[in-house]
Structure 1
Amino acid sequence: MHDYYLIRINFKGGIASPAEMKEILTAARRAQVESVRFGLRQQMLFYVPHNLGKAFGKAMESLGVDFQVDSNQYPNIVSSYVAEEVFQKGNWLTEGIYKDIQDTFEYRPQLKINISDADQSFSPFFSGHLNFIASPTPNFWYLYVRIPKSNQLVSFKRLVFSNEIAKVCQHLEEQLLVHEHTENKAIESLLENLPIAISAPIETELVPARFSLPYYEGFNRYGKKTWLGIYRRNESFSVDFLIKICALCQETKIGEICLTPFKSLIIKGIQETDRWKWSNVLSEFNINVRHAANELNWQVEDDSDEALSLKAAIVRGFDAIDLRTFGLCFGIKTRPRTEVYASIMLMKRSFKLFNLIPLYEVYDISYTEDFNPNGRTKKYFAQGVWRFNVGEQLRRCVLKYNNLIAENQIKAAGLKDDHKLDAIQSPSTKLVHQCPCCYTIYDKDFGDLLNDIPAGVPFENLPDSYTCPTCETNKDDFRVIEVEGSLV
């Protein structure tokens, strides 16, 4: 948007004061802002017209609110605070401890900092540069440093005390940004000489919670109270709606609004006697709060209509075939070096002639080891996929995951080498039909989602008018090849 400034406002740890958010939104509305979005790092994003930028800036200055214009130099501290009490409870980490840690930050970090409960999977562990994960020892944290502009992790050999986190972050940031350490050995040396007053030995290695995405929208009871999750399919929240939400928080004595890593909002602590008021606001602005789970388990890069459009098309395809996606988190990236948390990643890139001249756009599909979105080992499922074939390739990747889960469950039950295990295994080889031009494979076990061919239809029974879903090569040109028993 050339005639607009992109404004980013950080809410540290994803915790927003309703009073402060209301003041920000009121100033934004005066600057002709009608809607805002929220980012993966728990930020608020919106566009302000150039001619109103100066007035908006003065309004933010009078409120004492830091903001960024057309940049993300200060990428916000992300925390799993939103998960406490509603998705995770029972260990030593409380909402008060999160706030105490955040209060110790007296500078604006330029590196990405994540503060996470190890017993939850709603918030990412390793997407930051400095990643603190709660240990079993109260008030002590594991520290994992991710080298900037890389995917490499280096762990600190001791546990960090809660009150030391901000000081450790500031020291590491000064060293990493000024001296630009880029190798593991340099990071290890830096950690060995970390000026830290209180630390503890690591007695138990980190075992993060297995990924399980909670259903994070709608009205939900916990204890004697209710929490409300609000998700928007287009990621756009009306300013008028949000101002009304902030006012209702103030009226019902709710002191915070939580921003989630999935770009939704969660309001905790709703009294049962006040629930009807929240329901009325949702009705007034026609806000739906019961979307299908296979739409909620997605992360797309911030402020990307292209990625949202692609997500919508894929979700419709999954829904049409009733595909089981439980236990997975999907991500979409259309721009390089954007931060997305996912088990299965769809990434757009340019196909370049001689690795220099961009010719057309293709997609790579990758997944993390064991399909855990917190995993750092990436494997490619398919590369150079045409847009027309993305849905089918993603479906096959999902089936790979579902088969893996089934195999693991059978092994866990102690069933080995019997007919139950054989039932989910494919024969060693089989015959399929392959397009000679783009090498797309037609396998009757999967059918062809793009051409509305259900699984189980033999190639010989396809209509004569059938063409390759990728390049439209005629059916008669396909050739028979032998492949391993499972293509997924």
Structure 2
Amino acid sequence: MEETSGHLIKVNLPGGLISPGDLQEVLAIAEKSGAGEVVFGNRQQLFFRVKEALLEDLHHELLMADIHYEVDADEHPNIMSSYVTDDIFDHPGWLREGVYKDIFDLFDHRPKLKVNLVAANQTFVPFFTGNLNFIASEVSNYWFLYVRFPKTNQLYCWPSLIYSEDIPALSKLVESQILDNRNLFYDQPDINAKALLYQKIVGKNSMPVQPIPQPLKLPEFSLPYYEGFNKYGNNKLWLGIYRRNETFAIALLKDICKLCLKTRVGQLHITPWKSLLVKEIAPADRHFWGKILDQHRINVRHASNELNWQLEDNCAEGLHLKQELVKAFEAADLRTYRLCFAIKTHLKSGLFGSVIIRKRPAPETEAPFEILHTPDFNPNNKTLIVYKSHLKQEELGRELIALCDSYYSLSALEEPIATEKPVAESVSNAATYFVYQCKNCLSLYDEAWGDEANGIAAGTGFAALTAYPCPTCDSPKEDFVRIERAAAVFSN
């Protein structure tokens, strides 16, 4: 948001959806409190600012409207979902609108940990950016659960599937255990999840146990184009609106709400890319939507290399840097298909990206930036490799363009990208690339990279290791399974 003075108000929109009538009410209160614009967040929430003198009146208005909100805080992260992708970016099978809404309605507490509910056959909504990541399985109404412990990259796969109606209750139990035992689970280097978390939870409830029939397999990442008018389903349209400065004028959103009510569009969707998506538009009503875009001078055909960025919420520094890098990308006519980028000004902001631009904290330096990427450039893998470090801001564009060129010129499944730390070439030149994955915590051993932290050189074959305790959960070497890297599930 351009205006940074005053208090930041956050309103959660569970699952990223809100009715036009409810959004109208929020907008009216925000406008009455002096706001002229709102911003959407990475977790599908809504922000606006209010001056100190109007804060007391805002409290009253929001309480009267029974709207949960926070002031300058994020104690209760929004429940995030892939409901926005239904029918337009995926074909979800059993996971339909009613299932999502039933689960939202069953939450009788406001989570303090991040909860994600996502379909497994889409790549628009991140899988593992939550602390409790529920991913739909192929078994109707059952979900995988991956627990990512707060402030860590440690991911624990719950040993059984979770029934839809049990998600809220189990979330509450797991959250309570984690937050009541921070010395065991919060920002800790080594966590024995099975003994310290799972066994305590299963002993306190009688939820049905549904075995996992087969491991979760995630799709190869590609970000769908999420702007403009698009056809889907049986002669329907959806409209995506992205704003280059991340701000949505309240006047624009009020007009959108009015037209939704007039044309019987029942829901609006907030995306994890800080954009707005409207479904269920009848072709006969398209001209009404065109008039709104004309009236508010809304451009809906930005380049893909501008759309595939994740920034920290309400971060002016990150937004300015992104805008400068996008200019460099456009000047180079750069291809970024299958890639997405994130800018981190805080080390543990947990953003989603295959390429990360990270600003190191103080002490101050003229070259505080570093560029990192995931080994396979899948943003759902948060294992990061340093590409270049000690960079000045003006050097970032050149180095990112070089990295993207390397990505397309090399086979990502056969050769790693050259980094500042030289690594041996892949031990396998086969078309299918194999890695070894711990079946308990999903940590990977990649023979091409070895495990430098534990004294294993790059290029060391897994079979050559006489013993290899998992560096995350200490499971024995025998608990590692040889799988195709494309089929691996990655920690986040």
Could you state the TM-score of these two structures normalised by the residue count of structure 2?
0.80
The counterpart of 2:45, out of the listed 17, 29, 43, is: 43
Deviations 1:325-355 (A, max 9, x none): 1100100112332231101000111353xxx
Give the secondary structure class of the aligned counterpart of 1:121: coil
The counterpart of 2:102, out of the listed 83, 100, 105, is: 100
User: Counterpart of 2:326?
Assistant: 315
Q: 1:413 Cα shift?
A: 7.6
Report the Cα distance in structure 2 between the residues aligned to 1:217 and 1:351, rounded to whole angstroms.
Answer: 38
User: Counterpart of 1:366?
Assistant: 372
Give the secondary structure class of the aligned counterpart of 2:214: coil
Amino acid across the alignment from 1:363: F
Matched, 1:142 2:144: yes
User: Counterpart of 2:264?
Assistant: 253
Deviations 1:239-298 (A, max 9, x none): 011111111111111111000000001111001111111111111000111111111111
Amino acid across the alignment from 1:86: I
Give the secondary structure class of the aligned counterpart of 2:390: strand
State whether residues 351 and 361 of structure 1, in contact with CA within 8 Å, keep that contact through their aligned partners in structure 2. no
User: Counterpart of 1:200?
Assistant: 210
State whether residues 348 and 361 of structure 1, in contact with CA within 8 Å, keep that contact through their aligned partners in structure 2. no
User: Counterpart of 1:244?
Assistant: 255
Amino acid across the alignment from 2:307: L
Q: 1:188 Cα shift?
A: 4.6
State whether residues 366 and 392 of structure 2, in contact with CA within 8 Å, keep that contact through their aligned partners in structure 1. no
Gaps in structure 1 of 5+ consecutive residues: 353-357, 415-488
User: Counterpart of 1:286?
Assistant: 297
Matched, 1:216 2:222: no
Report the Cα distance in structure 2 between the residues aligned to 1:34 and 1:2, rounded to whole angstroms.
Answer: 13
The counterpart of 1:333, out of the listed 344, 366, 385, is: 344
Report the Cα distance in structure 2 between the residues aligned to 1:361 and 1:407, rounded to whole angstroms.
Answer: 32
The count of aligned residue pairs is: 408
Report the Cα distance in structure 1 between the residues aligned to 2:208 and 2:349, rounded to whole angstroms.
Answer: 35
User: Counterpart of 1:191?
Assistant: 198
Structure 1 pair 179–350 and aligned structure 2 pair: CA distance change class (3 A): closer
Q: 1:305 Cα shift?
A: 1.5
Higher relative contact order (CA 8 A, sep 6+): 2
Q: Which stretch shifts more, 361-370 or 28-37?
A: 361-370
User: Counterpart of 1:393?
Assistant: 399
Amino acid across the alignment from 2:345: T
Give the secondary structure class of the aligned counterpart of 1:189: helix
State whether residues 376 and 412 of structure 2, in contact with CA within 8 Å, keep that contact through their aligned partners in structure 1. no
State whether residues 3 and 50 of structure 1, in contact with CA within 8 Å, keep that contact through their aligned partners in structure 2. no
Gaps in structure 2 of 5+ consecutive residues: 416-428, 433-492
Structure 1 pair 52–351 and aligned structure 2 pair: CA distance change class (3 A): closer
Q: Which stretch shifts more, 376-385 or 250-259?
A: 376-385
State whether residues 34 and 239 of structure 1, in contact with CA within 8 Å, keep that contact through their aligned partners in structure 2. yes
User: Counterpart of 1:423?
Assistant: none
Structure 1 pair 404–104 and aligned structure 2 pair: CA distance change class (3 A): farther
State whether residues 154 and 184 of structure 1, in contact with CA within 8 Å, keep that contact through their aligned partners in structure 2. no
Deviations 1:190-213 (A, max 9, x none): 113433512310111011111110
User: Counterpart of 2:30?
Assistant: 28
Report the Cα distance in structure 1 between the residues aligned to 2:24 and 2:355, rounded to whole angstroms.
Answer: 37
Give the secondary structure class of the aligned counterpart of 1:309: helix
Report the Cα distance in structure 2 between the residues aligned to 1:196 and 1:305, rounded to whole angstroms.
Answer: 48
The counterpart of 1:348, out of the listed 349, 356, 359, is: 359
Q: 1:31 Cα shift?
A: 1.0
Report the Cα distance in structure 1 between the residues aligned to 2:162 and 2:143, rounded to whole angstroms.
Answer: 5
Q: Percent identity?
A: 41
Matches within 5 A, 1:407-426: none
Amino acid across the alignment from 2:192: K
Q: Which stretch shifts more, 112-121 or 399-408?
A: 399-408
Report the Cα distance in structure 2 between the residues aligned to 1:199 and 1:276, rounded to whole angstroms.
Answer: 52
User: Counterpart of 2:480?
Assistant: none
State whether residues 92 and 121 of structure 2, in contact with CA within 8 Å, keep that contact through their aligned partners in structure 1. no
State whether residues 5 and 49 of structure 2, in contact with CA within 8 Å, keep that contact through their aligned partners in structure 1. no
Structure 1 pair 363–220 and aligned structure 2 pair: CA distance change class (3 A): same
Q: Which stretch shifts more, 295-304 or 196-205?
A: 196-205
Matched, 1:83 2:89: no
User: Counterpart of 1:296?
Assistant: 307
Report the Cα distance in structure 1 between the residues aligned to 2:398 and 2:248, rounded to whole angstroms.
Answer: 32
Q: Which stretch shifts more, 247-256 or 39-48?
A: 247-256
Amino acid across the alignment from 2:219: A
Q: 1:412 Cα shift?
A: 8.5
Matches within 5 A, 1:460-479: none
Deviations 1:373-418 (A, max 9, x none): 0013211111221112111111122123213347769x8889xxxx
Give the secondary structure class of the aligned counterpart of 1:369: coil
Give the secondary structure class of the aligned counterpart of 2:221: coil
Q: 1:364 Cα shift?
A: 1.4
Q: 1:63 Cα shift?
A: 0.6
More strand by share: 1
State whether residues 40 and 260 of structure 1, in contact with CA within 8 Å, keep that contact through their aligned partners in structure 2. yes
Greater gyration radius: 1
User: Counterpart of 2:159?
Assistant: 157
Q: 1:20 Cα shift?
A: 0.9
Report the Cα distance in structure 1 between the residues aligned to 2:4 and 2:37, rounded to whole angstroms.
Answer: 18
State whether residues 376 and 413 of structure 2, in contact with CA within 8 Å, keep that contact through their aligned partners in structure 1. no
User: Counterpart of 2:386?
Assistant: 380
Amino acid across the alignment from 1:57: H
Structure 1 pair 270–380 and aligned structure 2 pair: CA distance change class (3 A): same
Deviations 1:295-338 (A, max 9, x none): 11111111112111111111111111111111001001123322
Structure 1 pair 362–21 and aligned structure 2 pair: CA distance change class (3 A): same
Amino acid across the alignment from 1:269: E
Structure 1 pair 135–284 and aligned structure 2 pair: CA distance change class (3 A): same
Report the Cα distance in structure 1 between the residues aligned to 2:298 and 2:4, rounded to whole angstroms.
Answer: 31
Q: 1:187 Cα shift?
A: 5.4
Structure 1 pair 197–332 and aligned structure 2 pair: CA distance change class (3 A): same
Structure 1 pair 83–412 and aligned structure 2 pair: CA distance change class (3 A): farther
Q: Which stretch shifts more, 150-159 or 359-368?
A: 359-368
